[in-house]
Amino acid sequence: MTKAIFFDRDNTLIYDSGYIHKPEDVVVLESVPEALLLAKSKGFLLIVVSNQSGIGRGYFSENEFHNVNRRIDEILLSYGVKIDAYYFCPHRPDEGCRCRKPEPGMVERASRDFNIDLRRSYVVGDKDIDVELARKAGCRLGL
Protein backbone atom coordinates (compact mmCIF):
# COMPACT_ATOMS: atom_id res chain seq x y z
CA MET A 1 0.00 0.00 0.00
CA THR A 2 1.12 3.51 -0.74
CA LYS A 3 0.56 6.82 1.02
CA ALA A 4 -0.92 10.02 -0.33
CA ILE A 5 -1.56 13.63 0.43
CA PHE A 6 -5.07 14.72 -0.50
CA PHE A 7 -5.07 18.40 -1.37
CA ASP A 8 -7.98 20.75 -1.69
CA ARG A 9 -7.47 22.75 -4.90
CA ASP A 10 -8.84 26.27 -4.52
CA ASN A 11 -7.00 28.48 -2.02
CA THR A 12 -4.74 25.55 -1.15
CA LEU A 13 -2.88 24.94 -4.41
CA ILE A 14 -4.16 27.87 -6.47
CA TYR A 15 -5.59 31.28 -5.72
CA ASP A 16 -9.38 31.22 -5.82
CA SER A 17 -10.89 34.35 -7.30
CA GLY A 18 -14.36 32.78 -7.14
CA TYR A 19 -15.58 29.81 -9.17
CA ILE A 20 -12.37 29.73 -11.19
CA HIS A 21 -13.01 28.25 -14.62
CA LYS A 22 -10.60 29.94 -17.02
CA PRO A 23 -7.10 28.50 -17.45
CA GLU A 24 -5.65 31.98 -17.82
CA ASP A 25 -6.85 32.81 -14.29
CA VAL A 26 -4.79 30.04 -12.65
CA VAL A 27 -2.23 31.35 -10.16
CA VAL A 28 -0.34 28.71 -8.21
CA LEU A 29 0.17 29.84 -4.62
CA GLU A 30 3.68 30.65 -3.45
CA SER A 31 5.71 27.70 -2.13
CA VAL A 32 3.22 25.14 -3.51
CA PRO A 33 5.59 23.69 -6.14
CA GLU A 34 8.37 23.29 -3.59
CA ALA A 35 6.01 21.68 -1.06
CA LEU A 36 4.69 19.26 -3.68
CA LEU A 37 8.23 18.31 -4.72
CA LEU A 38 9.13 17.64 -1.11
CA ALA A 39 6.03 15.48 -0.59
CA LYS A 40 6.78 13.55 -3.78
CA SER A 41 10.40 13.00 -2.66
CA LYS A 42 9.03 11.44 0.55
CA GLY A 43 7.02 8.91 -1.47
CA PHE A 44 3.57 10.49 -1.31
CA LEU A 45 1.08 10.42 -4.14
CA LEU A 46 -0.32 13.90 -4.82
CA ILE A 47 -4.10 13.79 -5.17
CA VAL A 48 -6.51 16.69 -5.48
CA VAL A 49 -10.01 16.33 -3.98
CA SER A 50 -12.18 19.33 -4.74
CA ASN A 51 -15.80 20.36 -4.36
CA GLN A 52 -16.85 22.04 -7.61
CA SER A 53 -20.47 23.04 -7.11
CA GLY A 54 -20.02 25.65 -9.83
CA ILE A 55 -20.56 22.78 -12.27
CA GLY A 56 -23.82 21.73 -10.61
CA ARG A 57 -24.95 25.33 -10.39
CA GLY A 58 -24.30 25.83 -14.11
CA TYR A 59 -21.60 28.49 -13.61
CA PHE A 60 -19.10 26.55 -15.71
CA SER A 61 -18.81 23.21 -17.46
CA GLU A 62 -16.96 20.07 -16.48
CA ASN A 63 -14.74 20.64 -19.52
CA GLU A 64 -13.80 24.10 -18.22
CA PHE A 65 -12.93 22.53 -14.85
CA HIS A 66 -10.63 20.03 -16.58
CA ASN A 67 -9.02 22.84 -18.60
CA VAL A 68 -8.14 24.61 -15.35
CA ASN A 69 -6.58 21.40 -14.04
CA ARG A 70 -4.56 21.01 -17.23
CA ARG A 71 -3.24 24.53 -16.71
CA ILE A 72 -2.27 23.68 -13.13
CA ASP A 73 -0.43 20.63 -14.48
CA GLU A 74 1.42 22.77 -17.05
CA ILE A 75 2.57 25.23 -14.40
CA LEU A 76 3.63 22.53 -11.95
CA LEU A 77 5.42 20.54 -14.64
CA SER A 78 7.68 23.55 -15.20
CA TYR A 79 8.85 22.92 -11.60
CA GLY A 80 9.26 19.19 -12.22
CA VAL A 81 6.20 18.01 -10.30
CA LYS A 82 2.94 16.38 -11.37
CA ILE A 83 -0.36 15.83 -9.60
CA ASP A 84 -1.13 12.09 -9.67
CA ALA A 85 -4.91 12.44 -9.87
CA TYR A 86 -7.82 14.86 -9.61
CA TYR A 87 -11.14 13.89 -8.03
CA PHE A 88 -14.03 16.30 -7.87
CA CYS A 89 -17.60 16.59 -6.73
CA PRO A 90 -19.77 18.54 -9.18
CA HIS A 91 -22.85 18.50 -6.95
CA ARG A 92 -24.52 21.39 -5.20
CA PRO A 93 -24.43 21.35 -1.38
CA ASP A 94 -28.18 20.62 -1.20
CA GLU A 95 -27.86 17.38 -3.20
CA GLY A 96 -26.51 15.37 -0.26
CA CYS A 97 -24.07 13.24 -2.23
CA ARG A 98 -21.39 11.05 -0.64
CA CYS A 99 -18.58 12.57 -2.69
CA ARG A 100 -18.99 16.16 -1.52
CA LYS A 101 -16.50 17.10 1.17
CA PRO A 102 -16.55 16.64 4.10
CA GLU A 103 -17.94 13.23 3.12
CA PRO A 104 -15.08 10.85 2.29
CA GLY A 105 -16.30 9.53 -1.08
CA MET A 106 -13.52 11.07 -3.19
CA VAL A 107 -10.81 9.90 -0.80
CA GLU A 108 -12.28 6.40 -0.61
CA ARG A 109 -12.42 6.18 -4.41
CA ALA A 110 -8.80 7.33 -4.72
CA SER A 111 -7.81 4.82 -2.04
CA ARG A 112 -9.32 2.01 -4.09
CA ASP A 113 -7.87 3.31 -7.37
CA PHE A 114 -4.32 3.66 -6.01
CA ASN A 115 -4.25 1.13 -3.13
CA ILE A 116 -3.66 3.91 -0.58
CA ASP A 117 -3.16 3.35 3.14
CA LEU A 118 -5.34 6.13 4.55
CA ARG A 119 -3.78 5.85 8.02
CA ARG A 120 -0.42 6.92 6.52
CA SER A 121 -2.00 9.66 4.39
CA TYR A 122 -2.82 13.31 4.96
CA VAL A 123 -5.48 15.85 4.00
CA VAL A 124 -4.37 19.44 3.36
CA GLY A 125 -6.89 22.21 2.84
CA ASP A 126 -8.07 25.63 3.84
CA LYS A 127 -11.49 24.99 5.40
CA ASP A 128 -13.12 23.17 8.28
CA ILE A 129 -14.59 20.68 5.81
CA ASP A 130 -11.04 19.55 5.00
CA VAL A 131 -10.40 18.92 8.70
CA GLU A 132 -13.64 16.96 8.89
CA LEU A 133 -12.74 15.05 5.73
CA ALA A 134 -9.46 13.92 7.32
CA ARG A 135 -11.34 12.67 10.37
CA LYS A 136 -14.03 10.86 8.38
CA ALA A 137 -11.55 9.26 5.98
CA GLY A 138 -9.17 8.14 8.70
CA CYS A 139 -6.31 10.33 7.45
CA ARG A 140 -3.96 12.63 9.28
CA LEU A 141 -4.39 16.37 9.03
CA GLY A 142 -1.69 18.37 7.31
CA LEU A 143 -1.68 22.12 7.72
Write out the catalytic residue numbers.
8, 10
C-alpha to C-alpha distance for 36 and 91, rounded to whole angstroms: 28
Question: Which residues fall within 8 angstroms of residue 96, CB to CB, at 6 or more apart?
Answer: none
User: In sequence order, what are the residues at sequence separation of 6 or more whose Cβ sits closer than 8 angstroms to the Cβ of residue 135?
Assistant: 141
- Strand 3-7: give its sheet, edge to edge: 85-89, 44-51, 3-7, 122-124, 140-142
Which residues is 124 bridged to in the sheet?
7, 142
CB of 37 closer than 8 Å to CB of 79 = yes
